[in-house]
Amino acid sequence: MSDSLDPVESVNPDDRQGVKEVHRRARSGIRVMLGRGVTLQVLSLVGGIILARILTPAEFGLFGIVTFVVLVLAQWGEVGLAPSLIQRAGGLETRTLRVAFTLQLMLTAVGILILWFVTPLVVGFYPVDPEQLAWLIRVLAANLLFQSLRSVSAVVLERSMRYRPLALVDMTENVVYQVVAIVLAWMGFGVWSLVAAVLGRGLVGASLMYAMARWRIGFALDWSLARDLLAYGLPFQAQGLIKKAREWLAPTLVATYIGPAAVGYLGWALRLGTKPAFVMTGNIARVSFSHFSRLQGNDEEQCRLVTRYVQLLSPIYLLWLALLVVAGDRLVSFVYTDKWLPAMPALIAYAAMTYFSVFSWIATVALNARGEVMLVLKNSAARTALQLGLGVLLVFTVGFVGVAVAAVVATAYLVTPLFRALRSGLLSDVLRSSTWGWIAFFASLPVGWAARLIPGPTLVQILLPVGSAAVAFAAVSWWLGPDTLRHHAKRALSALFRRSAGESR
């Protein structure tokens, strides 16, 4: 580990140079992880198209069943050890890494043994060849071992905020998966090509991750230290499980009361409406947790950082919402056909939810980094209870769109206690500093709606409102937005022009 910043220690609040170095690494990490995300999306799209032309839907379906069973088992070994190590203040001794490594391997080994013996009971629920399904599940379960072997090295890289090696490993893993899957599928191995690709990806990933972040591998048992790690890790992991419970309303109540079509509408609206959050927040999350964790004890700097994240991310989601309000119906009709238009209200509601989710997400990251994991868990449980309870009431009154409306209300309502836990008055400060985003949003709407009145071909009737609203939003943002926004925009444009000039030569 050659980087100058000690990868295992938090920064002293009085060490301004150290704080600046943490911010510099975070900015670099965000750029790297966003580039990684785009690259993985492209690789997966290309590979997915090729595999879809070779394999049958039934083979993909069988692999989906196998993956589901193994992932359910994987929850057994997910006790939050990685986030516990990343958040841990002070230094990480080799013994601490060995205790976490030993505990993770023990849990994984027990899980694999359980799966090996219960597989014959599981396969009976599916209308496929039970013997083939049993062996597919057992073989794929070996990938859990590879995931355990890579986990500690990944933690070392994330604590030191070295994201280039992480991105390189992720992209290499994806390439290995696509190549192995495509070659074996072309050779006629069917669903086994996908299983082999997962194992190849896991083996290469574990090997590369250790090469990027070597540590003295060993085994150690210290139940006092293990309890300390689990005291943070288990509540952290529970937050994710509670979050998943918010998705239960659609396949249960909506499916039985309204029908499967409503479930399809909601699933489609959720995926499309939250797409910017998936692309942006999903790739930034790994950086932000380490970013805040390295600033433990510096509460004021963390609060300034919360404001900065909201200022730079929330306009993206407001722009997405504005574009859907202005031209979402035409875009959906052109790309997805008119049959998806009944889901438009739910789509817009989920897009609105992403704006409030920026606040809740970054406050949750900051509080988890401070060690307030139980407070976040309680907030997450309250949000889930409110969303499910309100969703049930609204489903019976306004139909399936009530599920989406409940998500918006619950997300917005539970933001206040999270910010109050960070600092009294912080939410008011953040809202005042990001008011310009809402001004840009409301300014873009009449411009986009006016552009809808201009006749033309279908594509023009989509692009003209979208382009007009986007230009209006950008213009107001440039005029009223903070200096940091203009600074980052100028840097991005400058880098783009330099790259274009270099290619032209």
Q: pLDDT higher for 484 or 93?
A: 93
pLDDT tens digits, one per residue of 302-347: 898 899 889 888 888 999 999 999 999 998 888 888 888 998 999 9
What pLDDT does 2 receive? 38
CB-count burial class (<10 Å; 0-12, 13-18, 19+) for 261: middle
Banded pLDDT at 8 (limits 50, 70, 90)? very low
What is the rounded CA–CA span in Å between residue 87 and residue 228? 12
SS3 11: coil
DSSP 68-96: HHHHHHHTTT-SSHHHHHHH--S---HHH
Q: pLDDT higher for 104 or 71?
A: 104
Banded pLDDT at 234 (limits 50, 70, 90)? confident
pLDDT tens digits, one per residue of 382-423: 999 999 889 889 988 888 889 899 999 999 999 999 999 999
Q: Report pTM.
A: 0.80
What pLDDT does 6 receive? 41
| CB-CB contact of 30 with 313 (8 Å) | no
What pLDDT does 5 receive? 34
What is the rounded CA–CA span in Å between residue 154 and residue 209? 6
Alpha carbon 400 to its chain centroid, in Å, reads 25
DSSP 331-356: HHHHHH-GGGGGGHHHHHHHHHHHHH
Phi-psi region of 162 (alpha: psi -120 to 50; beta: other; left: phi over 0): beta
Task: Give me the sign of the Cα torsion angle 52, 54, 60, 63.
Answer: negative
| CB-CB contact of 99 with 220 (8 Å) | yes
SS3 505: coil
| CB-CB contact of 8 with 97 (8 Å) | no
What pLDDT does 28 receive? 84
Matching residue, tokens 């013996």: 117
CB-count burial class (<10 Å; 0-12, 13-18, 19+) for 1: middle
Q: Is the pLDDT of residue 7 over 50?
A: no
Helix (H) or strand (E) holding 149: helix 142-159
Q: pLDDT higher for 203 or 485?
A: 203
What pLDDT does 42 receive? 84
Per residue, what are the HEC states of 401-468? HHHHHHHHHHHHHCHHHHHHHHCCCHHHHHHHHCHHHHHHHHHHHHHHHHHHCCCCCHHHHHHHHHHH
Taking Cα atoms as reference points, which of 219, 71, 237, 81 lies closest to residue 154?
Answer: 81
What is the rounded CA–CA span in Å between residue 71 and residue 87? 25
DSSP 153-193: HHHHHHHTT-HHHHHHHHHHHHHHHHHHHHHHHHTT-THHH
Token pair, residue 140, equals: 């794929």
What pLDDT does 196 receive? 95
Task: Give me the sign of the Cα torsion angle 345, 351, 357, 361.
Answer: positive
What pLDDT does 498 receive? 60
Contacts of 335 (CB under 8 A, 6+ apart): none
What pLDDT does 65 receive? 79
C-alpha separations of 274 from 149, 267, 271, 357, 462 in Å: 33, 11, 6, 10, 20
Q: pLDDT higher for 276 or 248?
A: 276
pLDDT tens digits, one per residue of 435-469: 999 999 999 999 999 999 998 888 899 999 999 99
| CB-CB contact of 353 with 413 (8 Å) | no
With a pLDDT cut of 70, the percent of the chain lying above it is: 90
What is the rounded CA–CA span in Å between residue 373 and residue 382? 14
What pLDDT does 439 receive? 95
What is the rounded CA–CA span in Å between residue 197 and residue 203? 10
Strongest mean pLDDT among 221-225, 264-268, 377-381, 477-481: 377-381
C-alpha separations of 440 from 232, 348, 463 in Å: 41, 18, 19
